[in-house]
Amino acid sequence: MAKIEIILPAMGEGIIEATITKWLVKEGQHVDEDQSIVEIATDKVDSEIPAPQPGVIQKILTGEGTVPKIGDTIAILETEGTGIIEEEKVKTVTDAVEAKQPAEEKTVSAVLSQKTDNANHTEESTQVYSGKFLSPLVKNIAKKENILPGELETIRGTSNTGRVTKNDILNYLSNRKSTGVQLPIQSEKQIIEPIQQAKPVVSKEQLFSSGEYEIVQMDRMRKLIAEHMVYSKQVSPHVTSFVEADVTNMVQWREKQKNQFLQKENQKLTFTPLFIEATVKALKDFPMVNVSVDGDKIIVKKNINIGMATALPSGNLIVPVIKNADRLNLTGLVTSVNDLAERARDNKLKPDEIQGGTFTITNFGTFGNISGTPIINQPQVAILGIGAIVKKPAVIETPAGDAIAIRHLMILSLAYDHRVVDGALGGMFLKRIADYLENFDTKRNT
């Protein structure tokens, strides 16, 4: 007989724990592979955890109402197999957890502590490794080859749920050995300790209210946002630059095209995809903005993955990511933006859809604000703030000379990490975005 630890699966960045709401099985009960065995709830969504393979529930370790952390063992499953469970024979519980969980704006709190093997525990199990679920085979390869948790996060999984398979890690190792390139990523200790030090202490007296005020306890999502924002300010010396852009041509083009686009594509043509399109072009012109920092090393990202900050009905924030945005045409961007925004508000995002961003855009104009100074979404090094588009009188150049006309103007703000993005680079990059928006091709087709 072999025993498998059933652990609370990673459900996306920002989710570090879940409540056990109901066990669907009892100790001693036989279960089939993929049979739901327990219901769990986070502050965003309810879900179920399935059995990774057939067997008998030997022990339930967490009772209903308890709140285990991601990676904690919640039950022991006894199977008929023996020895190390090979990756091809075991589906990690992540694969079968319903892929509807949204996650908070990318937060270093989601970098989870790796469980250490007990020296006397000889039976291998599928465990969490830096926020990813890995089979014992893949985990052992990572340990043997000294692949750091952060480096492992960069390996793209090819399974249907994005999980890293044996072939994925072997191919990565082969390429790494042939090129000699090993990504230098921060260790979990380097990332998590600053957050732990920044946690506010709330006294018992603060939990009481009086007739003059009311104390509102932060929910888990708000706590994670707070931790992430404090951490970002501690890590990155923020500088913010501003530029005003005349987007009259873009506004007029969209006004002419939006009804036709809706009929043709069954999609609403908003301004957001146009902002993303211009940003992607500028990132290709200035690739050193599409980077992250590890100590004294700069990691240049080859993919352009745009995160778009989205407000939720609860008042919290989530950042779905458009992967490989530079490979999408305008129709593809519109479809992705609308789909991700809608599913974000309905709490139906998949964990993979809020991970891997390399640059973030936040739209202050949605709330009628003309500008703002955004906080960098770690580990990125810059974030673009979009202000409201406002009609104003402006001086324009004409063949007959300068004239005053009513134009559609907006303010763009760029907050950037001064460790690696100087004022010249940040200013030129921001101005390039404005140039793409101002010189919008009014004769283009959608």
Q: Which residues are catalytic?
A: 418, 422
Tell me how far apart the alpha carbons of residues 296 and 159 are, in angstroms, rounded to a whole number: 34
Pairing of β 46-50 and β 73-79: unpaired
Q: Tokens for 168?
A: 């994925």
Determine the Cα angle at 323 with ends 154 and 269, to 5°: 165
DSSP SS3 for 329: coil
The CA distances from residue 396 to 150, 246, 370, in Å, are 51, 10, 21
Distance CA 254, CA 262 (A): 11
Q: Is 72 exposed, middle or buried (0-12, 13-18, 19+ CB in 10 A)?
A: middle
Length of the chain: 446
In this structure, are residues 373 and 385 in contact, taking their beta carbons and an 8 Å threshold?
A: yes
Query: What separation in angstroms does the CA of 150 have from each of 153, 294, 302?
Result: 5, 10, 17
The single-letter code of the amino acid at 199 is: K
Q: Is 393 exposed, middle or buried (0-12, 13-18, 19+ CB in 10 A)?
A: exposed
94 with 112: CB under 8 angstroms? no
- Distance, CA of 410 to CA of 372 (rounded, Å): 12
